[in-house]
Amino acid sequence: MLRALLLGLVMLVAASPARAAGDVETCRNATAEPTARLAACESVIADDKITGPSRAAAFWFRGDSLMKKRDYDGAIAAFTASHEIAPQNINVINARGIAYSYKGDDERALADYDLCLQLRPTYGSAYNNRGLIFMRRGELQRALDEFNLAVKHVFNDQSRFLHHYNRARVEGLLKLYDASLADYAEAQKVNPDGPQVPAYRCITYTSMGKFDEALADCNAALAKAPNQIYTLTSRANAYLGKGNLDAALDNYNQVLKTNPNYVRAYVGRGQLYEKRRNPAAARADYRSAANAVAARREDIDTTLARRVAKERLEALLGTAAPAPAGKTTPSAPAGPRKVALIVGNGAYRNVAPLDNPPRDAKLLASTFRELGFATVTLAPDLSRDKFFATLHEFGMEAEKADWAVVYYAGHGMEIGGVNYLIPVDARLKADSDAETQAVALEQVIASVAGARKLRLVMLDACRDNPFEKTMQRTIALKLVNRGFSNIEPEAGFMVVYAAKHGETALDGDSLNSPFATVLARVIKEPRIEVRKLFDIVRDDVWKATNRTQQPFTYGSLPGREDFYFVAGK
């Protein structure tokens, strides 16, 4: 018995180094199945006895895996650990630079690329990555200089493709069209069947006014990747340039149905509406583009499109016919023209329904009608498509008003620093689905932006996240399960939360939520300036909920004017 026990101990001791060696081999095997490889690398990291290149490689693969999950902080920490073990490994330094760049920290990214070039001045990837940052910033000549050096230091087919391809893009933006087409041709020699070259060359041909060539390239790219919204938008732009407005509009609408927050499609459609002499629709689209959530690392095409949106919006507002001084329409009430949009989402299809929001919406709609608002739009149980269409229509209505007010009751949450209102048809199987299935708060704020004086958004939506238990975490972004995050709207806007950021709004024990009940009562009281009004609402809700719910106000209204819902004596 003792002999058997000793034999077993010997076998265990012998197995440990063998298992460690297997983990090292799997961790360093680039062709290994990713999940098994990551598990092996984590085992290597956990074993303090493994040092040197094998340990550095394990940290590198951990960083690479975290990059794919968009956990850039975790990736940076892993690459840093790898770099500390192997400080001369430029591939690790370059990978950390990419992580910094994706995080939006371009200065640290550039510092890492500079370090790569100090260690190896012929390292083409660092030149290429510096060029991408400068191109994204709009520093096009600096980007071209970097891409020239990247092309000079090509070291394999992949780098040959990327460096020529990226230089072609910036040459197109600089209107160096012959050089751009030549570089695209070089890149296509390396990857003749890929969709990337025709997708971007389509843009160059559109800029050149060669719309048939542009359409041929976009169609070729879409044949290989039919749902690529970037290329669909580029094809719409080519149709727009050629004058085929119906085809362009169909493509823009298709893109926005897939991703209702896509800046380039809003800008293109806005330009189309201008061609059709529909300035109100154009302004609404330009507002949606200008106010869309900005990514940490926005590509140059989106940056340029957003710039066009702001310029055209300013131009159209500057040329809008002013209302005749001292005149009102016969049916218009005295005082400022006020419009309101009231949304109550309760009939959720994929999570438990909410009883109060539809009732709250009816209560507030009735209240605003009593207050003499020119139009009050009651919009219950909005699906995603209907939600965006309603905001678009209200945005055009707000342009004709002095006051524009939106009240929303329903589910809302924050994902990755973005606040979303949840349509009734949302599934949100994964956190990243919010980008295409939910409505960003910025789009709601954009809908009131056209009003001349008061722009107000009220959100009775800080409820618990009903998708939290089933939602797959595909990206390592902050997910708040209780309420919204705080915001900083531009001057001239006021946003009111029914509960302070990160807290939960209550449905209450009555037919209406505490916030809606108090708001509907206080808002009717005469001569309460709107800033003070929401202080009173805060205090009364705080008292009614036994100090468990505290409304909060963000933003600021114009300081030289007072605003009253009821201007009585």
102-146 confidence digits (pLDDT tens): 988 999 999 999 999 999 999 999 999 999 999 999 999 999 999
555-567 confidence digits (pLDDT tens): 988 878 899 999 8
Distance separating alpha carbons of residues 360 and 204, to the nearest angstrom: 52
User: What is the mean predicted confidence (pLDDT) over 237-248?
Assistant: 98
SS3 string, 199-268, reads HHHHHHHHHHCCHHHHHHHHHHHHHHCCCCHHHHHHHHHHHHHHCCHHHHHHHHHHHHHHCCCCHHHHHH
N-terminal to C-terminal alpha carbon distance within the chain: 101
- Is a pLDDT exceeding 70 seen at residue 9? no
- Is a pLDDT exceeding 60 seen at residue 309? yes
User: What is the mean predicted confidence (pLDDT) over 160-186?
Assistant: 97
- Is a pLDDT exceeding 60 seen at residue 374? yes
> What is the band of 228 on the pLDDT scale with cuts at 50, 70, 90?
very high
pLDDT for position 404 = 97
- Is a pLDDT exceeding 60 seen at residue 569? no
* Least confident range of 257-266, 306-315, 410-419: 410-419
401-445 confidence digits (pLDDT tens): 999 999 999 999 888 778 999 999 999 988 888 888 999 999 999
Q: Which run of H or E residues covers position 312?
A: helix 300-319
Greatest alpha-carbon span in the chain = 108
Distance separating alpha carbons of residues 376 and 361, to the nearest angstrom: 11
pLDDT-above-70 percentage for the chain: 89
For 502, counting Cβ atoms within 10 Å of its Cβ (0-12 exposed, 13-18 middle, 19+ buried), the class is middle
pLDDT for position 287 = 93
Q: Where are the alpha helices (DSSP H) in 69-176?
A: 72-85, 90-103, 106-119, 124-137, 140-152, 157-173
User: What is the mean predicted confidence (pLDDT) over 484-510?
Assistant: 78
Token pair for 281: 């629709």
- Is a pLDDT exceeding 90 seen at residue 184? yes
pLDDT mean across residues, the chain: 89
